[in-house]
Chains A and B, each alone.
Chain A
Amino acid sequence: MTKKRSQKKTPSAKQLAPIGLWVSGVSILVTIFLLLVKLVIFLDLLLLPNQDLLNRATWIFSGLIPIGIAAYALMNPDGISRFFAGRQARHGSNAVIVTIAFLAIIVVIGALSRIANQRWDWTADKQHTLAPETLTVLNALPQPVHAIAFYTSPTQEVTDLLDDIVRGSDEIFDYEVVNPDTNPGLALQYEVTRDGTIVLVMGEQRELVAYPTEQEITNALIRLINPEQRTVYFLIGHGEYDINQSGEQGYASFRQALEAKNYTVLTLNLRALNQIPADAKLIVIAGAAQPISSDELTLIASYLAGGGSLVVLSEPPYFTQTAGLPDPLADYLATAWNIRLNNDVIIDPSSNQPIIAISNSYATHAITENLQTTMTYYPTARSITVTNDVLEVYASSLVQTIDRSWGETDMNSLNSGSVEFNANQDNPGPTTVVVVAENSVSGARVIVFGDSDFASDLAFSDYGNRDIALNSVDWAAQQENIISLTSAEPIERSLLPISRNSLLLLGVAFICVVPLLIIVGGVASWLIRRSQG
């Protein structure tokens, strides 16, 4: 009614109406242009400094199209009716206008509901709700965090989690999903090598999350809030693997992966320096070909007594040509850390080359949490035995080989290539390849691998090798879970055992009786209807 009156009394509205059409016409052209620009950017032909501006402009102009048409329709309904209905009566024009208005309302409400992004978690154990710790961390963020999720196809789980985090952070946290296949440049820039990695960027700092769970993301956020220098020293001077060299004898991939995780990776020549740098979070001895001297060992031992951390990547003496020579490091580990390095070579009959030990049997530990059944392999490894001589040290086996493998001590049989298991001298399987130990008094942590080749450039990116190497460094440097979340424990629901008879009963009831009742009802109603004519 009011519309009609205003239209009659103010003919100027009708004259102004074409402006609406002009606005939407121009908006259509601009939108098409902006969409073309977006396509060009999507195809990586052009890089804009401010993508957000482009997106916002596209939204505004595409929004102006219906607004312009709606304005025209409101100011000049006859024009629309003439356009659509021609000679049709007034009803037609009303129908078209009302339809357009209805669609516009639906679109607006739909867009608003997406922006509001409200959701309710109806699961009994609140599986889809953030833990209170995560919310506290999000509230403590000093500046905006931008997450880039590198996924070829993001799972619902991950996008839901990220959406939850965005909601919980009052939008100070935002994220985008980037396909590393179509945008390899960005992946390279952030040193992402695995599909399914999330990079958290805050100002100049960034953190890599390889297995995006709420726990991992929260801990990465804490590291962003409290940046600290984390320096890892690789010992040199005994023919160790070179962190600056690529290839068979190099650890360059390992070093790059650590640097991507914000570690500072340096070499340490103890003979020249004669002291351990104060900022050392961790010392790594990667495949020493000659024994560590007892002077150097004294320094390392006093560093550990002060709560330091050590990762030893050992090698069988047979392959380093040091069999029979005294090894102060092995003696020290045995007497102070309950870790005895055996002078053998692990033979794994399940492997193509039996001197490559394969494992997918891991103890429950922060290091192996993400590995589950992914295998790791160790070319030329020695076995390790865990003892319990020292009371304040708790050492435990982390990675074991299969039952059929063993630690071969007869090196002559290795030379001749005719190894077999001798129960009275070889170490029986399953053999231990990796041991973790912690001193409950000093808090020092030690991880010993019976192999160092698994982390060399040749093997580093295969299977779970990269994960076990990086997680070991994280744990030894005391960088594993800074806090653990107290989200509601998921309720374990399990199926009670069902007897064959009750299963049969269920089958008869739900496959035969219930559907049959429906059919009977149908036939009965048909008969009744027929009898009634």
Chain B
Amino acid sequence: MRNAWIIATREYRQYFLSPVAYIVAFLILLFAGVLFVLDMYIVQQQTLAAYYAVTPPGVADIVIFPTAFLLLFAAPALTMRLLSEEHRAGTLELLLTSPLKDWELIFGKWLGSFLYLLTVYAVTLILPIVLNNFVSPGIDLGVMAAGYLGLILLTAAYLAIGTAISSFFNNQFASFFATLVVLLVLWWVISWPAGILPYNAAEFLRSLDTSTHIDSMMGGVITLDGLVYYLSLTSLGLFLGTIAIEIRRWR
């Protein structure tokens, strides 16, 4: 566990030297900022036209949803390097011969990227705090907390998938595109057939869709199957990554 933490902090520091990480943070904050100001502007126009009270923009609309969407591209970009790069540079051999367990390597790599995104999310908290000052009697903190919890779980799952795929490939661009495809399938493609399938089959497909569960969390409802889904996906990613490293070890 200590080894995992050492790996995690090393990766975490690495991100602050990497242009990709800055681009990801820049895009997340820019998207959220633009949507926030735009929503406020549109609502302001309505206020001039009508006399009734206007519903304020929700935290889910201005921060959670756009960030979850950007994450489809940000997660592969942040994780593509994690193990592919070690392999390309030949440093993976060193890591594998060190007294480091395979799961510690994968978990540490994943934790580093996870902590980095958590840092970015902490910065986005400025938006709800500012929004709170413009809403009477304040924004619904429960809904905000549920939304952020959903986003954090989604992030954990995406990064775990990215970490696993990065351990499959030697080329970081291959891992980027493979991860992107997997995430797009899980976010979007998987529920395509739901419209033509019988209700139960459609429900089954929707329960495998990453967007379904975060939708209910953005509305302020935490579901047990949502929690289990994201945690299972995360553990599956970390597990497959560990197995892939193990296979490399005896190949």
Contacts and interface: CB of A to CB of B under 8 A. Distances in A.
Contact of B55 (A116, A177, A495): A495
Contact of B29 (A121, A177, A514): A514
A492 B222 contact: no
A522 interface: yes
A106 B246 CA distance: 21
Interface residues of B, number: 66
A509 B127 CA distance: 11
A507 B140 contact: no
B235 to A, nearest CB: 7
B26 A522 contact: yes
A95 B243 contact: yes
A496 B134 CA distance: 5
Interface stretch (B1-9, B40-48, B87-95, B174-182): B40-48
Most central of A177, A503, A522 by chain B CB within 10 Å: A522
B220 A494 contact: no
B50 to A, nearest CB: 12
B142 A119 contact: no
A119 B26 CA distance: 35
Interface stretch (B14-22, B66-74, B77-85, B165-173): B14-22
Interface stretch (A123-131, A136-144, A364-372): A123-131
B221 A519 contact: no
Given A119-B222, A497-B47, A503 B228 contact: no
A515 B33 contact: yes
A494 B236 contact: no
B25 interface: yes
Nearest to A525: B17
B185 interface: no
B143 interface: yes
B107 interface: no
Given A109-B232, A497-B47, A518-B22, A123 B139 contact: no
Contacts, number: 169
Given A120-B222, A491-B137, A109 B146 contact: no
B29 A515 contact: yes
B17 A493 contact: no
A160 interface: yes
Contacts of B138: 493
A113 B228 CA distance: 7
Given A113-B224, A124-B140, A515-B33, A506 B19 contact: no
Contacts of B219: 123, 128
Given A119-B223, A525-B17, A95 B22 contact: no
Contact of B142 (A95, A124, A503, A506): A124
A495 B33 contact: no
A122 B126 contact: no
Interface string A491-521: 1111111100001001101110011001101
Interface in A90-145: 91-92, 95, 98-99, 102-103, 106, 109-110, 113-114, 116-125, 127-128
A110 B236 CA distance: 12
Contacts of B16: 521, 525
Nearest to A121: B221
Given A118-B223, A160-B221, A493-B135, A498 B142 contact: no
B98 interface: no
A248 interface: no
For the complex, would chain B's binding face be called helix, strand, loop or mixed by DSSP majority?
helix
A123 B135 contact: no
Given A118-B223, A176-B199, A511-B33, A123 B247 contact: no
B225 A117 contact: yes
Contacts of A491: 137, 140
A38 interface: yes
A131 to B, nearest CB: 16
B184 interface: no
B145 interface: yes
B137 A493 contact: yes
Contacts of B44: 497-498, 503
B37 A507 contact: yes
A238 B36 CA distance: 65
B213 to A, nearest CB: 11
Interface in B71-120: none
B220 A127 contact: yes
A514 B34 CA distance: 11
Contact of A522 (B22, B47, B126, B215): B22
Interface string B232-251: 10011001100100110010
A109 to B, nearest CB: 6
Interface string A171-206: 000001111000000000000000000000000000
Interface in A224-277: none
Contacts of B246: 91, 95
Interface in A458-501: 491-498
Given A121-B221, A526-B19, A98 B140 contact: no
B26 A495 contact: no
A72 B26 CA distance: 52
Interface string B43-63: 110010000011111000000
B34 A511 contact: yes
Contacts of A125: 140
A42 B221 contact: no
B54 A114 contact: no
B135 A518 contact: no
Given A506-B36, A511-B37, A493 B140 contact: yes
Most central of A178, A495, A509 by chain B CB within 10 Å: A495
A122 B56 contact: no
A399 to B, nearest CB: 22
A118 B145 CA distance: 18
Nearest to A495: B56
B135 A495 contact: yes
A53 interface: no
Contacts of B224: 113, 116-119
A177 B33 contact: no
Interface string B135-175: 11111111101100000000000000000000000000000
A218 B56 CA distance: 31
19 contacts: A103-B236, A110-B232, A114-B207, A119-B222, A120-B221, A121-B221, A122-B142, A124-B142, A128-B221, A494-B55, A495-B136, A503-B37, A510-B33, A510-B36, A511-B34, A511-B37, A515-B33, A519-B22, A519-B26
Given A119-B224, A494-B56, 4 more contacts: A121-B221, A122-B146, A496-B134, A518-B22
A-B pairs, top 6 by smallest CB distance, nearest first, are A522-B22, A510-B33, A494-B53, A122-B142, A113-B228, A123-B220
